């Protein structure tokens, strides 16, 4: 049973003729007669009385036609809703990004997207990398941006967008500020001011210091601003995104410490649900991000 059979049955009821019902849908009368016969077999009822003067509904046919009109009306409403949602999806983009990306990279990407598509309605959730991945998994957003190891992305679609690095910063009066480069053992053996577990910054640092036993934390804070404030106060060496620390380093409020034998680089990736491709707007945003990463 399909919607076309229901439409044909309603048309026969309204016109009283298989021929006129056929003409309404551009079909032949024999084709409609065959479909109605098959429909009657499917439901196990005789719905039409056929004679030379025309075609009339049986008592069962009258009831079935009433129900058919309800089904067709519901189908029409469904298609209207689907059309509205499709139109909205072409102009609405839901994005989630880790703090570093949201604060220091995404604004330029979004500006470039809006320059191309002024009517886009974009929402941006700002969370740590673990929460961004959860938002993708729950279908709350169309695309996300995270930094950190590839391992948690195994069940998602992803692509690299740009690179960043972590910086070790201290107050200007700290011994490391004027000393030689430190090594991995120095960093791992010192209590640090770091991001909370679940952030991409913390995961990259944990991975980098694994050969020396991992991270020892003095303070775990949920934002780059809080980490920089702690470093300025002399709470201890802090590790955070170089992008987030750049203004404070330029102003001389904190000093960047060279690290000799630890790779603190990281890749920033776009992520989306597994088994699908980013939609048109998400692809345009990714293109803007790639252009920004390659521009001088």
Vertex 21 angle, CA 17 and 24, to 5°: 145
In terms of Cα–Cα distance, which of 138, 143, 157 is closest to 98?
A: 143
Note the Cα 39 to chain centre separation in Å.
Answer: 44
Distance CA 217, CA 192 (A): 5
> Domain-by-domain residue ranges, the chain?
3-88, 163-266
List the beta bridge partners of residue 154. none
Distance CA 30, CA 141 (A): 51
Distance CA 203, CA 289 (A): 23
pLDDT in tens, the chain (296 residues): 688 999 999 999 999 889 999 998 888 999 999 999 999 999 999 999 988 877 889 999 999 999 999 999 999 889 877 766 665 556 789 999 999 999 999 999 999 988 888 888 899 999 998 899 999 989 899 999 998 776 767 778 889 999 889 999 999 999 999 889 999 999 999 999 999 988 889 999 999 999 999 999 999 998 999 999 999 999 999 999 999 999 999 999 999 999 999 999 999 999 998 888 888 889 889 999 988 877 65
For the domain with range 3-88, which CATH number is right: 1.20.120.160, 3.40.50.300, 1.10.10.10, 2.40.30.110?
A: 1.10.10.10
pLDDT given at position 80: 78
Tell me: the pLDDT tens digits for 71-115? 999 998 898 777 666 655 567 899 999 999 999 999 999 999 888
- Which secondary-structure segment (H or E) carries 121? strand 121-126
Could you please report the per-residue DSSP string of 78-98? HHHHHHHHHHHHTTEEEEEE-
Alpha carbon distances (Å) from 271 to 150, 156, 262:
11, 7, 27
For the domain with range 163-266, which CATH number is right: 3.30.230.70, 3.30.565.10, 1.10.357.10, 3.40.190.290?
A: 3.40.190.290
Calculate helix-pair angle for 59-89, 3-15, nearest 10 degrees: 130
- Give the Cβ contact number of residue 153 at 10 Å: 17
């Amino acid at each position: 049973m399909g919607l076309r059979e229901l439409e044909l049955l309603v048309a026969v009821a309204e016109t009283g003729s298989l021929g006129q019902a056929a003409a309404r849908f551009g079909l032949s009368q024999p084709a409609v007669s065959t479909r109605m016969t098959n429909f009657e077999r499917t439901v196990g009822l005789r719905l039409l009385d056929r004679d030379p003067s025309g075609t009339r509904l049986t008592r069962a046919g009258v009831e079935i036609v009433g129900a058919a009109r309800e089904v067709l009306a519901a189908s029409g409403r469904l298609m209207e809703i689907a059309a509205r949602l499709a139109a909205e999806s072409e102009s609405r983009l839901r994005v989630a990004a880790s703090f570093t990306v949201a604060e220091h990279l995404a604004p330029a990407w979004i500006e470039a997207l809006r320059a191309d598509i002024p009517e886009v309605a974009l929402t941006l959730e700002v969370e740590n990398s673990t929460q961004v991945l959860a938002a993708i998994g729950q279908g709350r957003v169309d695309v996300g941006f995270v930094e950190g190891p590839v391992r948690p992305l195994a069940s998602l679609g992803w692509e690299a967008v740009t690179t960043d690095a972590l910086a070790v910063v201290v107050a200007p009066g700290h011994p490391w500020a004027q000393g030689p480069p430190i090594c991995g053992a120095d960093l791992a053996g010192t209590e640090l001011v770091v991001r909370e577990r679940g952030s991409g910054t913390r995961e990259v640092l944990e991975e980098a210091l694994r050969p020396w036993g991992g991270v020892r934390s003095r303070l775990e804070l949920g934002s780059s601003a809080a980490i920089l404030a702690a470093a300025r106060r002399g709470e201890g060496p802090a590790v955070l995104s170089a992008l987030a620390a750049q203004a404070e380093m330029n102003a001389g409020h904190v000093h960047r410490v060279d690290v000799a034998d630890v790779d603190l680089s990281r890749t920033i990736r776009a992520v989306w649900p597994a088994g699908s491709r980013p939609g048109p707007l998400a692809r345009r945003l990714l293109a803007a991000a790639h252009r920004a990463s390659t521009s001088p």
